[in-house]
């Protein structure tokens, strides 16, 4: 999860208890930190630029035009277009447990630069060019996105003469990773409803249906009717992860789901999720979840 830097607390002023705003401005972006210390509802917010909003602490309920309302929790983000009206509820905020959220306002120019960089490295497998992500895209931050946001909090709040350069590079990476995360999400959905429409969706469906089998690159590329090198390059370019990393993600999802079942043992979850080494399973699970499979299971059974 994200944490605010000590520099933020040293320089911010609490002028009100609902959506108290601290602003850090650089050449091509603006970092807004919002803190709410009282329960509130129907709070309006709008930015003139596209915004990445990411929860740090507490809970919000977001009401956006044209989208169903949703709970907004730590570790989650949403992309909003310029001038999007947000209506926000704060059901749990208190003086001792404030709700905290960041809003990273980005220039249209910087968004387009990241898109152009992706297109210079290759279009999508269907020949379409990359474009600015769909707005109102709500997602859970992966480890890489979380690390970039944490680094940006530090850069915006530090006193360094080159922080404009540092932030530009990080924002470019952030936008590319979000685009690839969005594309991965799209392919996952298509694999459930329209898997035969494109090769990547078909391969994702094949992976999900055969997680306990050997899923080597040569098998997957043959199923996709592509050369191994072209398949690997296309998959990684569009989804932001290698086929092997994606397979591990899917196996971990299965293991996590099974471990939530109080009748399922850790060993049974390991065998059913397709890992071929118990020690590797335990090691990769702890790396991704910050808990061992046993610890995760115990915690899930207590709070689930």
What's this model's pTM, rounded to 2 decimal places?
Answer: 0.85
Name every residue whose Cβ is closer than 8 Å to that of residue 174 and which is 6 or more positions away in sequence: 52, 145, 148, 149, 152
pLDDT given at position 149: 97
Spatial separation of the C-alpha atoms in residues 21 and 14, rounded to whole Å: 8
Q: Is 23 helix (H, G, I), strand (E, B) or coil?
A: strand
What pLDDT is attached to residue 3?
87
Between CA 252 and CA 244 the distance in angstroms is: 12
| Nearest-angstrom CA–CA distance, 82 and 106 | 9
Structural domains in the chain? 6-182 (2.60.120.280), 194-304 (1.10.10.60)
Distance of CA 28 to the CA centre of its chain: 22
Residue 126 CA from chain centroid, whole number: 24
Query: What is the rounded CA–CA span in Å between residue 214 and residue 113?
Result: 39
Low-confidence ranges of the chain (pLDDT < 50): 303-304
The count of other CB atoms within 10 Å of the CB of residue 13 is 8
Give the helix/strand (H/E) hosting 98: none
d(CA 72, CA 101): 10
Tens of pLDDT, residues 187-241: 999 999 888 888 999 999 999 999 999 999 999 999 999 999 999 999 999 999 9
Q: What is the pLDDT of residue 302?
A: 58
Dihedral of CA atoms 287, 289, 291, 297 in degrees, nearest 10, equals -140
């Amino acid at each position: 999860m994200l944490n605010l830097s000590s520099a933020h607390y040293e320089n911010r002023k609490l002028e009100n208890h609902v959506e108290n705003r601290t602003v850090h401005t650089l050449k091509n972006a603006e970092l807004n930190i919002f803190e709410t210390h009282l329960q509130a509802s129907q709070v309006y917010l709008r930015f003139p630029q596209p915004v990445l909003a990411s929860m740090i602490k507490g809970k919000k309920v977001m009401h956006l035009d044209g989208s169903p309302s949703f709970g907004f929790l730590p570790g989650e983000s949403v992309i909003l277009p310029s001038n999007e009206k947000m209506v926000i509820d704060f059901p749990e905020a208190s003086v001792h447990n404030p709700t905290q959220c960041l809003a990273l306002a980005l220039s249209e120019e910087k968004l387009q630069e990241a898109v152009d960089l992706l297109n210079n490295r290759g279009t999508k497998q269907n020949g379409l060019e990359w474009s600015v992500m769909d707005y109102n895209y709500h997602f859970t931050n992966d480890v890489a996105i979380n690390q970039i946001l944490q680094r940006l909090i530090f850069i915006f709040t530090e006193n360094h003469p080159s922080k404009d350069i540092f932030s530009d590079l990080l924002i470019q990476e952030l936008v590319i990773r979000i685009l690839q995360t969005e594309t991965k999400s799209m392919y996952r959905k298509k694999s459930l409803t329209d898997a035969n429409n494109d090769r990547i969706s078909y391969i994702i469906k094949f992976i999900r249906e055969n997680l306990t089998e050997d899923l080597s690159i040569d098998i997957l590329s043959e199923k996709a009717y592509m050369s191994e090198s072209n398949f690997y390059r296309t998959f990684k370019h569009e989804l932001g992860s290698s086929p092997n990393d994606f397979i591990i993600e899917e196996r971990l999802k299965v293991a996590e789901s099974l471990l939530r079942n109080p009748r399922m043992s850790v060993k049974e979850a390991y065998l059913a999720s397709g890992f071929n080494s118990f020690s590797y399973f335990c090691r990769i699970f702890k790396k991704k979840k910050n808990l061992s499979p046993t610890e995760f299971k115990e915690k899930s059974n207590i709070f689930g």
